[in-house]
Structure 1
Amino acid sequence: MTDILQEVAALFDRSGEPVEGFDMGQVEAEAEAIMSFTGRPYCLVRAWSIIEVDVSEDYKVSLATDGLSPYVLYASDVVLHSGGKRRPGDWVRSTFQRSFTQGFLFKTKNTTYLLMGPGLRKKASVEAILAIVS
């Protein structure tokens, strides 16, 4: 098995640093998402991982200039997408992180993800992340 294939497979297993997300139900999660970031799409997810992407220092600087950090979200269970872009049960891979607050709100340039229940922190290469396509 190639190194990239092994790395991608590791992204889908349930190993990693355990992290707790939002610990209430879907109704409370949706209310929290609405109150936290009004006027932008939100997505409630379960079975999630925050992945630190291994990028060069120059790329980190470039991301920081744009107000971003080298982290992406992968979730294998979309609960709800406010704009209907994703359906319940779909999976999602986000773009780079703009902010991460309250231990469960992962914000990208366009979407706020509310991380429900337990999740993981992992690390991966850019190549492995790009292998996960929608």
Structure 2
Amino acid sequence: MSNNLNQQLKTIASLIDCKLGHPITGGNESQIEQLIATAEKLNHKPIRVLKDWKRFELCLNEEDEQLCREQEPELSKDGIYLVYSHNVISDSTFMVPAGGWVRSTFLIALHNQCIFETPNTNYILVGNGREVKISLEEYYLLMSLR
């Protein structure tokens, strides 16, 4: 295995490590049904409920952020975020099995501090999570996960 590939794998492992980043709180796990009902009222997008999640903030220079926003004008004005979880509780599309992992596309809106809306899906973040700032290079590494 090349040193470059080895380093990339180490970087990915550190990014998805549960201990990296500062703690943030999602929705209450005992209120999942209420949160699903709230998400259903927002729109008709599929819903995935996540536990043990991480919210990544993509940190870009002004020029790169402007280009990104021109390509995806619906992005949240509060920052460029995506979410990752290695513990999917449920998925209304049944594409991701319970206990599976998922990585979202970019945030367009955050509702009730725990419903992470992307262009195609509502992710309900329950329990404790973590937030991490990442570079463009780290973002591309996360996107390489299959």
Q: How does 1:75-94 map to 2 (within 5 A)?
A: 75-94=85-104
User: Which structure has greater helix proportion?
Assistant: 2
> Which consecutive residues of structure 1, in runs of 5 or more, have no partner in the other structure?
none
Conserved 8 A contact 1:7-1:124? no
Question: Within 1, Cα distance between the matches of 2:136 and 2:101?
Answer: 19
Question: Within 2, Cα distance between the matches of 1:41 and 1:91?
Answer: 16
Question: Within 2, Cα distance between the matches of 1:111 and 1:23?
Answer: 20
Identity of aligned residues (%): 27
* 1:9 match: 13
Q: Aligned to 2:57, which of 48, 52, 59? A: 52
* 1:67 match: 74
The alignment partner of 1:11 has SS state of helix
> Which consecutive residues of structure 2, in runs of 5 or more, have no partner in the other structure?
none
Question: Within 1, Cα distance between the matches of 2:63 and 2:53?
Answer: 28
Q: Which amino acid aligns with 1:90?
A: G
Superposed CA RMSD: 2.0
The alignment partner of 1:50 has SS state of strand
Question: TM-score w.r.t. structure 2 length?
Answer: 0.79
Question: Within 1, Cα distance between the matches of 2:56 and 2:111?
Answer: 16
Q: How far apart are residue 4 of structure 1 and its match?
A: 4.6
